[in-house]
Amino acid sequence: MAWTHEQMAARAAQELNDGDYVNLGIGLPTKVVQYVPENLQVWLQSENGLIGIGPPPYEDEINPDMIDAAKQTITTVPGASICSSSMSFAMIRGGHMDLTILGGMQVSASGDLANWMIPGKMVKGMGGAMDLVGGARRVIVLMEHVARNGEMKILNTCSLPLTGKKVVNQIITDLAVIDVTETGLAVRELAPGVTREELQSKTEPILTFG
C-alpha cells in the first residue's frame, strides 16, 4: 500500500534535525511544514525572503501580503525574519541552508535531478532550484515514484534537462525511502505492503536493500 501525500510529507519531516535551516520547494514539499516535530526548532526558509515559516494559516489568520515562493499564504513563528530576495539567495548560494526538500520529475542513479521543465511545454523559469541544489548541504527529493502515465521517474540517466548533477542525497516517494550512495541507490525503508519486487519493477537502476 503506497503512502499518501500526507504520509510522504510526514516521513520527510523525520529527516529534519533541531536547528536546521530548511528550504521547502513548491508543491508536495510545502506539506512538510505541517509535520515538523514539536520538539524541534527548525527554521523554514522561502526564496522570496522569509525565514521562520509556520504552519498554514486558519481562515481568520490569512494575510495576503504574507506568502511563500509558491504564492501560498503562510504564518510566521516567533523569531521569524523578513528580508530581501537578494539576502535570501545569499543565504542559499553561500551554503547556509542545511537542507532543501524539492519535488522532482526525474532522478538518476547517480543523484542527477531534473525538476524544472519538460521540453516543448511552457514554463515560467527554473526559479531557485538550481541555486538550492548547488548551495544546500543536503538535498531530498519528495515525489511520486512513477509518473501519471506510468513512466519511471527514477532512471539510470535523466532524459529531461538537468537542474543539477550528482546533487540528490535521498529520494522519498510513495513507495520507499531511498538513499543515493557512491555505489548506487540503497533502499532504507519500504512503504507498508510494498515488496522489493514491486519497487524494483518500477525503478530502472538496480536497487540494493539493507
Active site residue 144: no
DSSP letter assigned to residue 28: G
Residue 178, phi-psi category: left (phi > 0), alpha (psi -120 to 50), beta (remainder): beta
Catalytic residue among 47, 59, 61, 204: 47
- CATH architecture of the domain covering 5-205: 3-Layer(aba) Sandwich (3.40)
How high is the pLDDT of residue 69?
A: 80
The answer to whether residues 176 and 145 touch, using CB atoms and an 8 Å cutoff, is: yes
Side chain identity, residue 180 = V
Q: What is the pLDDT of residue 68?
A: 86
**For residue 123, what pLDDT is reported?**
54
Given a cut of 50, the residues of the chain with pLDDT beneath it are none
So what's the pLDDT on residue 27?
A: 86
Q: What are phi and psi of 87, to 5 degrees?
A: -65, -40
